[in-house]
Chain A
Amino acid sequence: MEVFLQQLVNGITLGGVYALVALGYTMVYGIIQLINFAHGEIFAAGGYMGVILISWMVAQGYPPFVCLGVALVLAMGYCALLAMAVEKLVYKPLRSSSRLSVLLSALGMSIFLQNGLMLTQGVYDRAYPGEMVRGGFEIGGAMVSYMQIVIVGITVVLLVGLNTLVFKTRVGKAMRATAQDKTMSALVGINASRIISMTFAIGAALACAAGIMVGMYYGSVRYDMGFVLGVKAFSAAVLGGIGNITGAMLGGLIIGMIEVFAAGYISSEYKDVFAFIILIGVLYFMPTGIMGENVDDTRV
Chain B
Amino acid sequence: MKRALYFLSLLLLVSFVAVGCGGEKKEEKKAEAPKATGIKIGSLSPLTGQYAADGNDIKNGVLAAIEVMNPEMGALGPVTLQAEDTSCDPRQAVAAANKLISEKVTAVIGAYCSSATIPAAEPLMAAKIFMITPASTNEKVTESGHKYMYRTCGRDDDQSKAAVKFTQEYLKAKTIYLVDDKTTYSQGLADNVEKLASAAGLKVLGHEHVNQGDKDFSAVLTKVKAAKPDVFYVSLQNSAAAAPMLIQIARMGIKTKILAQDAVYHPQLMELAKKDAEGVFLTFGYTDKETASYKKFADAYKKLGEPGAYSAYAYDSAVAYLKAVKAAGSTDPEKVKAELMKLDFAGASKQIKYKENGDSGSNYVIQVVKDGKFDNFWNPETGQLYKK
Contacts and interface: CB of A to CB of B under 8 A. Distances in A.
A6 B222 contact: yes
A6 B243 CA distance: 21
Given A84-B9, A86-B13, A222-B50, A228 B19 contact: no
B20 A121 contact: yes
Contacts of A95: none
Interface residues of B, number: 57
B219 A125 contact: no
Contacts of B217: 268
Interface in A259-280: 259-260, 263-264, 267-269, 271-272
Interface string B260-283: 000000001001111110000000
Interface stretch (B22-30, B106-114, B321-329): B22-30
Interface string A39-62: 000000100110010011000000
B251 interface: yes
B10 A85 contact: yes
Given A88-B9, A123-B52, A136-B251, A3 B223 contact: yes
A125 B253 CA distance: 25
Contacts of B17: 116, 119-120
Nearest to A260: B219
A69 interface: no
B105 to A, nearest CB: 24
Given A3-B226, A268-B210, A219 B273 contact: yes
Given A143-B251, A218-B247, A224-B49, A120 B218 contact: no
A217 to B, nearest CB: 9
B208 interface: yes
A119 B5 CA distance: 27
B50 A81 contact: no
Nearest to B241: A125
A6 B222 CA distance: 7
Nearest to A6: B222
A122 B23 contact: yes
| Most A Cβ at <10 Å: residue of B9, B222, B225, B276 | B222
B23 A271 contact: no
A220 B219 contact: no
B48 A123 contact: yes
Contact of B222 (A7, A145, A214): A7
Nearest to B252: A143
Given A127-B274, A269-B182, A118 B48 contact: yes
A181 interface: no
B216 interface: yes
Nearest to B181: A269
Contact of A264 (B6, B8, B219): B219
Contacts of B12: 81-82, 84-85
Contacts of B50: 125, 222, 224
A198 interface: no
A297 interface: no
Contacts of B268: 124-125
A53 B164 CA distance: 44
Interface string B166-204: 000000000000000010000000000000000000000
Contact of A219 (B8, B18, B226, B244): B244
Contacts of A108: none
B16 A45 contact: yes
Interface of A: 2-3, 6-7, 10, 14, 45, 48-49, 52, 55-56, 81-82, 84-86, 88-89, 113, 116, 118-127, 130-131, 136, 138, 143, 145, 147, 214, 218-220, 222, 224-225, 228, 259-260, 263-264, 267-269, 271-272
Q: Which 7 A-B pairs have the closest CB atoms?
A: A120-B20, A263-B219, A123-B52, A85-B9, A122-B24, A10-B218, A85-B12
Given A52-B21, A126-B24, A218-B216, 4 more contacts: A89-B10, A122-B24, A145-B252, A228-B213
7 contacts: A55-B22, A85-B9, A121-B24, A124-B52, A130-B276, A147-B251, A220-B244
